[in-house]
Structures are given as structure tokens and as C-alpha cells.
Structure 1
Amino acid sequence: MNPFFTGGEVISVSFPTRQMTAEQQRQSLRGNNVTFAKATVHHELIPGHHLQAFQSSRYQSHRSQFMTPFWLEGWAVYWEFLLYEDGFPQSPEERLGFLVWRAHRYARIIFSLRFHLGQMSPDQCVDFLVDNVGFDRINAEAEVRRSVGPSYPPLYQAAYMVGAMQLLTLKDRYVATGKPAKTFHDEVMQQSSLPISLLEAIVLDQTIQQDNPPLWRFDESQFSQ
């Protein structure tokens, strides 16, 4: 159910158990190698989920009732992009670790939505992760079991990458208004959990009307390349 290092405010460590066969133990270790694990720590702790929880308890704490995975997971993956671009992973192995998780975020959109639309079976989802991301089968099976289980709503897995793309776009729009880029992260954290379309309206000082709620739209130019 939990094949990789995950968490939220803490890190939950996934490693082999005595009940596994020797081959299953090797697959578990390969899926949690040092460079893969390094690429997950900032997602779960700082500047990811641990920082979100810290800030959300101090700013607009009532908005925790409106928790959306596009803000929650999108913020953590957004930082995966920023840290990669800023040279945080230095060796080829570390950069590959980051890129494997990025491929996983994209794959999650495809297999989770197709599963909920009845277009892919769980076994096909597992094959998709093995063939397109390179996960060991035991880890892919656990990931699918977790992703499509009853604990997550249908759009949750897609929200990782889509939310990150929304925040990257919102940062560009924020800077384009003449506001300094260094204040963007403070603004996002101090608004707490909101749909990104509403977050955009607030940080860009847009007028919000009850009969005309804010809607998110990507710029067409982002997808023209």
C-alpha cells in the first residue's frame, strides 16, 4: 500500500519486511534507493507538506476545511521543479531521481483518470507504471493499490502535476504584474488551502463576484511548443 517514502508533516519510511520474498525485498530496496529518497524529502517536509502545515496553522486556519490536493500536492511538486532548476540535485544519479518522480507525476494523471473512467484495469495501470516509469513490479502494484483505493478522490492523483503547473503559471502571472518574485511564496502560504483559481484572484488583486466565480485557465502558449 505504501511502496515509497511518503508522509506529510513527517516522513514515513518504506523498507522490506520479513514477510517479503528475497526478490520482493530487493525490489523494495531499489524503489527506495538513496537518490530516490533524497528527491522525496523536500516534498514531504520543507518546503513541502511540513511547511504547509506549519503555515496553515498560523494563517487562515479555517481554510483547512476546504483542503484541495491541487494546492496541497501541487505546492510540493512545484518545489520539485524549482529545486531541480536551481541545481539542488547535483550528481547525475540525483538528477535522475528527481526526473523519475516527475515521470511518475505525469503517469499518475493518465492511469488514475483512465482507471476511474473505466478505461484501464488495475493490472493495466501496473503495467503502465512498469513500462513508462520503470518501477519494479511490486512497487508499481502497491502504488496502484494506494492511488485508486477509497482513501483518495478520483482527481487526487492528477492534482500533483496539474497543481504544480498551476502554481508555476501563477508565479509568472504574479511577476508580470510588477510584484517581486521573492514575495510570491509568502503570499501563497499566508492564504492557506484554496483552489488555485481563487488563490490567483486574491494574490493578483482581482475582483471576485458571487455570480462570476474565478475559473482557472492555462495560457494556450504553454502548450504550443
Structure 2
Amino acid sequence: MQTTTPSGQNCCYARCNQQWKAGVSIGAGWYEEEYRAYGYEYPSDSIRIEQLDEALHIIKAMWTNVKATFSGKHYRILDAICNPKPLQKPHPPIMVGGIGEKLLLKVAAKHAERYNHPFGTPDEVKRKIEVLKEHCKTVGRDHKEIEKSVLIRVIVANSENKVNQIIRKVKNKDEIVEQPLDRTNGKIAVGTPEQVVAGLNKYVEHEVTHFILHFMGLGYGEML
């Protein structure tokens, strides 16, 4: 189950060993129309990332302190209370997503238990992870404390003929799908199960341990 806010924050819940456990995935926001729809201003990338950094300071403080106080450029709280506290200690895991090298990845280095790269090629993801490692050195953190994941679209079927049939149907509605069986553009993993796994393994070679898969073509009756 997942809920989303215009700030780019998701609360994801999974049931493990008969207990509900929560984690937060959060980014700097990117969809201007959503901001406008809810009456928010849409500031520059750098300001939104500053807001993300401050928001994470506040979230963690309210999860871990009896009363939380924070004074930043964008947000301020004074003796704020958050009860009940999370069961997970010191707090639920935080996943930060995005691709900005100078600012966003530094926020991930400071706050994240997982960094998520959206829709990148293996080489692009490798580059971002190397930058993340450098930011971790700067903030005095071991990069191995941060899991790495990738969000990627998937079209999979039990034969290339069926895959191509799905692609022809999906291409009419989604410009992301450009070339049949193109497993290198990083925006989509396409093919038979064996081909898709081979493509995903290229990310594993660069320390990716988790995948968030967006399955396309589910409405066409040919997907596995």
C-alpha cells in the first residue's frame, strides 16, 4: 500500500512476518502540475532540494525525540510532538530518489538508508553511485550503509514475438517505448524472462540490490 503527497513523498507499507512495517520514499518533487493543482508554489530545483533536506531533518527528529525543534531556511518547528513513535528503531528506513549530482545525492548521503535511481542505464546508475560514494566521504558516512535501487519499466512475455506484439500496442500510447527489444536504453527492460533478467543483472554488477519494476502492457493480455 502506498500514499503520495505533492511534495514527492511516499509512505510505503509492507507486511513482514505478520507485522506491518513502514518505510518512507521521498524526493524533491518534479511534477509541476501536481504542485499547482494543490495550490503549492513550484520553486527551483535547488530550493526544492533544500526543502527536502530540511524536511528529512524534521522527520527524523520527530520520530526520535520526545519533542523536536528545528529552525531552517524554509521550515521551523518548536517542541513539536509526534506520537505514537514508530516501532522501527531508530526510525523507519528512508529512501531518497533522484539524479542531481551536486545537491540531491548529497541529501541522500546524509539521510538515506536507500538511494533510488529512476530510469537510468547501467552506466548512468554506476556514475550516480560513484558520486554518492564521494558525498558519503564528505559527510563522514560509509556508503555501504545505503542500499541502491533502480526504478525501471518492464515489458516481459514468454516469446520475442509476443513481446513485439505488446510493444506495437504500447507504442501507440507511450513514447518511452521506441525500439522493439531495445534493452540498453535504460528506460525500459524488454524481452523474455531470461532477457529481462540478463538486463537487470547489468545493474547488479554496479551494486544495485533492489528493483522497483513498472510493468507495462498489462492490459493487453500477453504479459507473463
Using structure 1 for the length normalisation, give the TM-score.
0.33
Structure holding more helix per residue: 1
Structure holding more strand per residue: 2
The structure with higher relative contact order (CA 8 Å, sep 6+) is 1
**Whose radius of gyration is greater, 1 or 2?**
2
